[in-house]
Structure 1
Amino acid sequence: MSAVRMMKLITGIMEAVLAIPVLGAIIIVSNGWMPLVIMLVLHIITLLLAVRVQGPLAGSIVGIIASCLGWIPFVGWLLHAAAAIVLLVESFSRRLQQ
């Protein structure tokens, strides 16, 4: 499994956990919004890896936006869910088979 595929899968799963309505909010708020910073760094790393292999970028971009706006109650939930879906779809994309 390539590094890009692995990072997209990991960040997709983590975004899916943060998209669970009450659980995601508890994780983020109880840790002082640090999970959003960690996810931002992971999405940037994933984006740089995807650029290097000319893979799909949309999931990482949506993830970066979700990390930046995740502190807004319902907007954050929607963005985390969208990022999770796009990242997981991209992780199984044929464009990443290398």
Structure 2
Amino acid sequence: MLTDTGHFNTPNASKYLQQLCKHFAHKVAVTHDDSRGTVALGMGPATLTASADRLLAEVTAPDAAELDHARLIIDNHLKRFAFREEFEAMTWASATAPA
């Protein structure tokens, strides 16, 4: 399994974590509280962690294409909630993340 970690610096990390988890819970298994959530994406789990100034996401998938898809799922959904901050995409870190 491959793993990528993304971050988004925001004072609204807990709010976005909860919005994402509640949204995903309509389709897949989710557990969450104010500072941590796990979403059972089809390709592998996504773990979200909120601190006072940063939202972290760790996505896991069996191959690079599915890992890219997992990143896009998180980014596209977060874009809906963080539009006031002009969010476009998390900053992803791994050998497979696009430059």
Q: TM-score if structure 1 supplies the norm length?
A: 0.33
RCO comparison, higher one (Cα < 8 Å, 6+): 1
User: 1 or 2, which has the higher strand percentage?
Assistant: 2
User: 1 or 2, which has the higher helix percentage?
Assistant: 1
